[in-house]
Structure 1
Amino acid sequence: MTNILSRATNRAKRQVIARVPPVTRLVEGLHQSRLRDHREHLPSISPATSALLEQVEGTGVAVSSQDELGIPGTDQLKGVLGHLKASLAARDPQGASALRPAHSELLADAALWRWGLDQRLLDVVENYIGLPVTYYGAAVYREVADGTTQWTRQWHRDIEDHKVFKILVWLNDVGPRGGALQYIPRPVSDPAVQRLRYVAGFVTDEQMAEVVPPSAWVKATGPAWTAVLADPARILHRASPAEDQDRYSVTFTWTSRHPIKTMPPAEPLTADEDARIRAGLSPAQLACLPA
C-alpha cells in the first residue's frame, strides 16, 4: 500500500510540474541555477568517457561493455552476479513475468552494491547529470520469456528526476527477441512525448505506433556483460517482451541529490548491511548514499 501511495503522489507531483506554468518555471529555474553553480566544480573524465556521455546526451543510450568501462571490482562483481543468476534460473516462476532475488541475497556480498560507488564511476555520472549525485544501488532481474506486455514492458519514461543515469548489464546473451531494452532515440522521442501529451504512466504499442513507426524502435542487444548506459528520464523506452529466452540483468541507478521524485528503498538496510556497504568509503562516496 505504501508503494502504491508513493507512486500516486509522485505522479500527481509530476503532473502539477508539467501542467501548471508557474510551477514549471519555478522548478526549472531552480534546477538551472543549481546546474550553473556546480558547472565549474565538475570532476575531470577521460575523452573516451566523454564520448560515451555525448551519445547518451544525443540519443539517450550508449552501448559499451562492463570490461570496457574499466571500473575496479568488476571481476568480483561478475562472480557475485553469476551466483545470483544461477539462483534465479533455478526458480519456478509460478506464472510471474519477472523475478528478483530476495533482499538478503542481493546484499549478501556488498561488492554488488558498492560497484556503483567507485569514485571514477561517480565522476562519470556527475558529469552527465551536472550535479552531485545520489546512488540507489543494484537491482537484479530475470525477465521470463512469456511474451507478455505489462508493467515496465510497456512504453514509459522514468519520472525520478530531470536526468537519470542507469547502467544495465546483460548477464546472458540478449538478442532481438530476448527482452532487450527498447527505446525511441531522443530526436524522435521528444516530439513523440509532445504528440502523446505524455507526463507519466504507460503507453501501449498501439498508441506508440500512432506517433512513432515501429521501424524507429531501437533495441539495445548484445552478448553477456554488455553495458547499456541510458537516461530513461529523457527517452520513451521499455523492457521489450522476452520471447525466445529469459533475460537476466543488473541495473545500477543514480539521480541528482534533489530529485523530482522521492525514491524510498524497497526494503531498509539492516545495521550489518549498512555497515558493510559504508566500510572504508570516502566522505565523497558516503555523500552519494541515499539519506
Structure 2
Amino acid sequence: MKQKTLRYRALRRVRSLPAETASRLLAMPAISRKLNESYEKARASHRPRLPQLSPFDKDIVAGLERNGVYVTSLDRLDLPGTGALWRSATGIASAYSLRAGQGEFAGEYTVQVGAEEMMHHPHIVRWPLDDRILDIVETYLGLPAACDTLNFFHTLADGRQVAARRWHRDVEDRRMVKVIVYLHDVDEDGGPLEILHRAFPGSDQLDGGNFPVLTQEMLEQRLGGALEPGDVTSCTGKAGTVIFADVASRYHRGRPAIARDRSALFYNFFSRSPLRPFYRERHVFSRAQLAELAAGQSARARDCLLWHANVPLLARIVPRARS
C-alpha cells in the first residue's frame, strides 16, 4: 500500500511539472509586471459594469476586503433552491457518515462524492449560479466570475495534518472566492476552515509552482512563535453555516478534525481569465457533464460554468496540474 502511494505521488508530480514550470515563468518579474498591469486595466475597465448590491451583500464583499472571510448562513442568504439543496446534501452526508462508521474509508483522510452521484442532484451544483452569488463574487473579484464547480468532501476525524489541512494558498488566480456550506455543526474539534491574518517570510513567494505549504509547527517556526488571539479566524458554525473566503490572497487550512467527521460543500470561483488556468478543474466532473449542468441555465450562469471554453490558446496548451 505504501509503495503504491509513493508511486502515485511520484506520477502526480511528473504530470504537474508543466504547470509548475509555467507558474514559475509567470512569476518572473518582467512577465509578472506586464500581467499585473493588464489585470488592473481589466478591473478598471469593468468597474462601471459592476452589479449593484443590497446592503447585506455589500457587507459580505466588505468582509472579504477587510479580513478575507465573511460568515453567514443559508437562512440569511435565503436563495432559491436552498431547501432542495439541503435535503439532498444532508442525505448524501448522512450516507457517507454511515459508510465511514462501517470502516469503508479506512486509511483515507478525505473522501469526495463522485460525479455520477452528483449528477443525480444537479440542483446542488447549480445552487451558487444564482445572480446574487454571482453579483457578490463579481464585485469582489472586480471581473466576471468563473465557477470551477463543486467539491463535496467528507473529511474523516483522524487529526492528520495532510493536504488541505496544512496552511496553504490556492494559486489559480490573484483573488478567489470559495463558498463553503457546512452540512452539520462544526466546532473547533470538527475541522473548521481557518483563515490566517499574519504574513511571514516567504508568504508571498512561490516555492516552485506553489506557495509554501506548512504544518502548524512549520508556520509557527516561520512566525517566530505561537499564534496570538486575532491572528486566525476560525470559522465554526451550526449546520447551514455559509462561508465566503478568499483562498488565494490568504493563507488558510481546514483545521484537522479530531472529534467528529465533517461534510461540507465547496464552491470555487475566480475570474474568467485566471492567472494560472492550468490549475483549474480540480473537481470530479467531465466537460460533457459540465455542459449538461449548464443546459437550460441563464446565459450568465452558462458562461460562468463553461468559462474554460474561452481560455486563450496559449493557456490551454499547458496540461492541467494534478490535484
Q: Could you tell me which residue of structure 1 aligns to residue 271 of structure 2?
A: 256
Q: How far apart, in 2, do the equivalents of 1:251 and 1:146 lie?
A: 21
Offset at 1:100? 1.2
Q: How far apart, in 2, do the equivalents of 1:119 and 1:7 lie?
A: 35
Offset at 1:6? 5.8
Q: Structure 2 regions of 5+ residues with no counterpart?
A: 1-7, 310-323
Residue pairs, 1:24-173, within 5 angstroms: 24-91=32-99, 92-173=104-185
CA shift in 2, pair 1:193/1:249, >3 Å: farther
User: Does the aligned pair in 2 maintain the 1:154–1:204 contact within 8 Å?
Assistant: yes
Residue of structure 1 aligned with 2:233, choices 183, 195, 218? 218
Offset at 1:205? 1.8
One-letter amino acid of the structure 2 residue matched with residue 227 of structure 1: V
1:278 aligns with 2:297: no
* Secondary structure class of the residue paired with 1:44: coil
CA shift in 2, pair 1:205/1:275, >3 Å: closer
1:206 aligns with 2:222: no
Q: How far apart, in 1, do the equivalents of 2:275 and 2:19 lie?
A: 8
The normalised TM-score by structure 1 is 0.91
Q: How far apart, in 1, do the equivalents of 2:38 and 2:136 lie?
A: 23
1:243 aligns with 2:258: yes
Per-residue CA deviation, residues 82-120 of structure 1 (Å, 9 max, x unaligned), is 121022112221210111112111221110111111122
CA shift in 2, pair 1:138/1:267, >3 Å: closer
Percent of residue pairs bearing the same amino acid type: 28
CA shift in 2, pair 1:127/1:224, >3 Å: same
Per-residue CA deviation, residues 54-98 of structure 1 (Å, 9 max, x unaligned), is 111111111111221222111111011012102211222121011
* Secondary structure class of the residue paired with 2:304: coil
The normalised TM-score by structure 2 is 0.82
Aligned-CA RMSD value: 2.1
User: Does the aligned pair in 2 maintain the 1:195–1:211 contact within 8 Å?
Assistant: no
One-letter amino acid of the structure 2 residue matched with residue 28 of structure 1: N
Moved more, 85-94 or 3-12: 3-12
**Count of residue pairs the alignment pairs up:** 285
Q: How far apart, in 2, do the equivalents of 1:48 and 1:131 lie?
A: 20
Q: How far apart, in 2, do the equivalents of 1:104 and 1:90 lie?
A: 20
User: Does the aligned pair in 2 maintain the 1:196–1:211 contact within 8 Å?
Assistant: no
Q: How far apart, in 1, do the equivalents of 2:172 and 2:262 lie?
A: 25
Q: Structure 1 regions of 5+ residues with no counterpart?
A: none
* Secondary structure class of the residue paired with 1:192: coil
CA shift in 2, pair 1:80/1:146, >3 Å: same
